[in-house]
Chains A and B, each alone.
Chain A
Amino acid sequence: MSTIINADTSNGLKLTSDTSGEIELQSAGVTKAKVTSSGLQNASGSAITSQAGKNLIINGNMQIAQRGTTGTAVPGGSYLASDRWKAWDASDAVVTVSQETDGPTGQFTKCLKYNVTTADASITASQFGMVRQMIEGYNIIDLGFGTASAQSVTISFWVKSSLTGSHGAALNNGNEDRSYPFAYTISVANTWEKKTVTIAGDTSGTWDTDNTAGMIITFGMGTGSTYEGTADAWQAGNKFQPTSTVANIGTISNWNVTGVQLEAGTTATPFENLQYGQQLALCQRYFEVVITNDGNGFYGTPGAGTDVGYSNYFYQTTKRAAPTVALAAGGTLPTVQVSGQSGFSSYASAGVYARINGGTTISSEL
């Protein structure tokens, strides 16, 4: 028992006292928070700590799309629309992935759409489609996965599809040899529905806690037996969804998602809404595009005589790893000399400006 402080709708303040040393705060008889010897807790007994950074998913509201807003999914996977979300189509289907202006009214304005325009009528064992976000290992340290202290996590998201039924997803480790496939039900076609799944932490396997992929959230879009797993259980292997769940790539269909949150604990808390600039900076740890605004380039100073000229570009955010630099076309391009986590340096021939054009991309994606 506890001492209870209840804001009662009939009598106002209602106090029930005991000697437990604990207090429950209630609204109309329903417990909302507790104070115990362990500290401040929510109604389910989980510690209430700082909520900043609670969502391990970056760009869960699909708002940021630095590369563009649409593209065709390919077998090897690619980042096509909303930042940090990588999509695959390793089947005979044809799939367009896009950032759409759509979402549950009043909560989200953008979503990621996986649109199957040509279906694969016969999905073989190793064919698949999926949408994933790889989470950097540094961001999962406190979950304790791979140890006896592994914490439970809760995934919440909004989803809408033309296909009803039992859809599949999974939580995987970055090494892709541990998986927890789970199902969620879409009850009504073409209607936004919120889904919540709590998963006990994995006490086995290797879960990297450095700048490589530590954890992966996978939304399965259909697969054969190779990547199907047993629902609601940790298991070895790289599994994308449970057996007997919907195969989006098998039907002309669409699937849309937004408001994705992955957090420690057994309770789905409200979505962590970051300011646009904060979320952009988080995305830019993995990908950045040079923006010059006027179609021109950033120039260095040409070298005198036989000396080469240099140009340096410093990133908006320190990158996860030394990034790949793709210079955008325009004029005589320089040679990249160094690509480090803070920026890149380039040089041009003597008498030529080393020019960094708008549209140049810098990528250290997982």
Chain B
Amino acid sequence: MTTENYKLVKDTPQGEPSNLIIRLSDEAYIPKDEANTDYQEYLEWVAEGNEPEPADEENA
């Protein structure tokens, strides 16, 4: 069981859905690439029943 927490990233300025999530412990941006081991940990975290925080209205 990880103690990490995550947050979604708001849509891009072009209005496209972001392909990233934020790991809150270090504010790192994690791409949704299944070969990325940080994203694999995120997927395991979600599979444990956790949900990421919603995206900020204004990220920048």
Residues on A close to B: CB < 8 A? 211-212, 308, 320-327, 332, 334-340, 344, 347-349, 352, 361, 363-366
Name B's interface SS.
loop
Cross-chain contact B60 with A347 (CB below 8 angstroms): yes
CB pair B18–A322 under 8 Å, yes or no, is no
Q: Which 10 A-B pairs have the closest CB atoms?
A: A321-B35, A322-B33, A326-B28, A322-B31, A335-B59, A336-B29, A339-B31, A335-B60, A324-B38, A325-B29
Q: Which residues of B contact A361 (CB under 8 A)?
A: 28
Contact at B26–A352, with CB atoms within 8 Å?
Answer: no
Q: How far is the CB of B51 from chain A (nearest CB, A)?
A: 20
Output the least CB separation between A311 and chain B (Å): 11
Main secondary structure of the interface of A (DSSP, over half): loop
Residues of chain A with a CB closer than 8 A to B23's CB: 324
Say if the beta carbon of B20 comes within 8 Å of chain A: yes
Give chain A residues whose Cβ lies under 8 Å from the Cβ of B38: 324, 363
Q: From residue A304, how far is it (CB to closest CB) to chain B in Å? A: 14
| Total inter-chain residue pairs, C-beta < 8 Å | 64
CA distance A332 to B38 in the complex (A): 25
B48 in contact (CB, < 8 A): no
Give the contacting residue for B60; candidates A212, A308, A339, A363; CB below 8 A. Answer: A308
Residues of B near A326 (CB, < 8 A) are 26-29
Shortest B38–chain A CB gap in Å is 5
Q: Which of A339, A347, A364 contacts B20 (CB 8 A)?
A: A339
B9 touches A335 (CB 8 A): yes
- With contacts A308-B13, A337-B20, A347-B12 known, what are 14 further pairs, Cβ within 8 A? A320-B35, A321-B33, A321-B35, A321-B36, A323-B31, A324-B29, A324-B30, A324-B38, A324-B39, A337-B12, A337-B13, A339-B20, A339-B31, A349-B60
Are the CB atoms of A323 and B36 closer together than 8 Å?
yes
For B12, B37, B38, the residue with the greatest tally of chain A CB atoms inside 10 Å of its CB is B37
Out of B10, B27, B30, which one reaches A327, CB within 8 Å?
A: B27
Q: Which of B12, B13, B35, B58 is in CB contact (< 8 Å) with A211?
A: B35
Min CB distance B17 to A, Å, is 11
Of B9, B13, B29, B39, most A-chain CB atoms within 10 Å: B29
Interface assignment of B19: CB less than 8 Å from any CB of chain A? yes
A325 CB contacts on chain B under 8 angstroms: 28-29
Contact call A322/B36, Cβ cutoff below 8 A: yes
Chain A residues lying within 8 Å of B9, measured Cβ to Cβ, are: 335-336
Give chain B residues whose Cβ lies under 8 Å from the Cβ of A339.
19-20, 29, 31
CA distance A355 to B3 in the complex (A): 30
Beta-carbon nearest neighbor of B29 in chain A: A336
Interface centre among A321, A335, A366 (most CB of B within 10 A): A335
B26-54 with Cβ < 8 A to chain A: 26-31, 33, 35-39
Q: Which residues of A contact B33 (CB under 8 A)?
A: 321-322
Contact between chains at A337 and B18 (CB < 8 Å):
yes
By a CB distance below 8 angstroms, the chain B residues around A321 are: 33, 35-36
Tell me whether A364 and B36 are in contact (CB under 8 A): yes
CB atoms of A212 and B35 under 8 A apart: yes
A185 to B58, CA, bound (A): 59
Task: Considering the complex, give the chain A residue whose CB is closest to the CB of B16.
Answer: A337
Q: Is there contact, CB below 8 Å, between B36 and A324?
A: yes
Q: In the complex, A349→B10 CA distance in Å?
A: 14
Report the bound CA distance from A348 to B58 in whole Å.
10
Q: Is the CB of A352 within 8 A of B20?
A: no
Least Cβ–Cβ distance between B16 and chain A, in angstroms: 9
